[in-house]
Amino acid sequence: MFYGEYLHILDNKKRLIIPSRFRDVIKDKGIEKFYITRGLEECIFMFPDSVWKTQEKKFSEMAFTRKNVRSFQRQFFGGAVDMTLDKQWRILIPDYLREYAKINKKVKMVGVSDRIEIWDVVKWEEFYANSKKDYADIAELLGEEGSIDNR
């Protein structure tokens, strides 16, 4: 659904414009509402409403009696905010999420299939540099687990 990497800049009011490729998907799929929340590796996750509902169901079925589940749910759901795009295809990222992701001005928006990740550009470059060397090893491991077809 969402694919590619796009460099954008927050405007003076801390709004972020959605890349045109993502806009095409949003129009084609009739997506009207998104949820953004704390992601992993200090990025922000942006889910279409339908994907959010699936994630919400999965995570809310976890046993809240487990400490790590409660902690995850608090971070994930407590940090969430629902939003619609304005007429210029922008979103306003709340201060607490910008602080969590250490976002200053330059932002890398990354399409990761059913979600969009929003990264501070420096954090993205660090993550990419550290993970690209393991890309082939991870693919091999996933292939062994049957997640990637090894034809």
Taking only the tens place, the pLDDT of each residue in 35-47 is 999 999 999 999 9
The pair of structure tokens assigned to 95 is 């201060």
pLDDT: is 138 or 28 the higher one? 28
Q: What is residue 86's predicted lDDT score, i.e. its pLDDT? A: 97
For residues 69 and 63, the answer to whether their CB atoms sit within 8 Å is yes
The confidence band for 121, taking pLDDT boundaries of 50, 70 and 90, is very high
The confidence band for 149, taking pLDDT boundaries of 50, 70 and 90, is low
The pair of structure tokens assigned to 13 is 């009011």
Q: What is the mean pLDDT of residues 9-16?
A: 95
Task: Report how far residue 77's alpha carbon sits from residue 106's, in angstroms, rounded to the nearest whole number.
Answer: 26
* Residue in 21, 23, 42 with CA at minimum distance from that of residue 31: 23
Residue 34, pLDDT > 50, answer: yes
Strands (E), the chain: 2-9, 15-17, 34-38, 44-48, 81-83, 90-92, 106-113, 115-120
pTM assigned to the model:
0.90
Q: What is residue 148's predicted lDDT score, i.e. its pLDDT? A: 53
Output the DSSP codes for 4-42: EEEEEE--TTSEEEPPHHHHHHHHHHT---EEEEE-STT
Which CATH number is associated with domain 2-144?
3.40.1550.20
Residue 116, pLDDT > 50, answer: yes
Residue 150, pLDDT > 60, answer: no
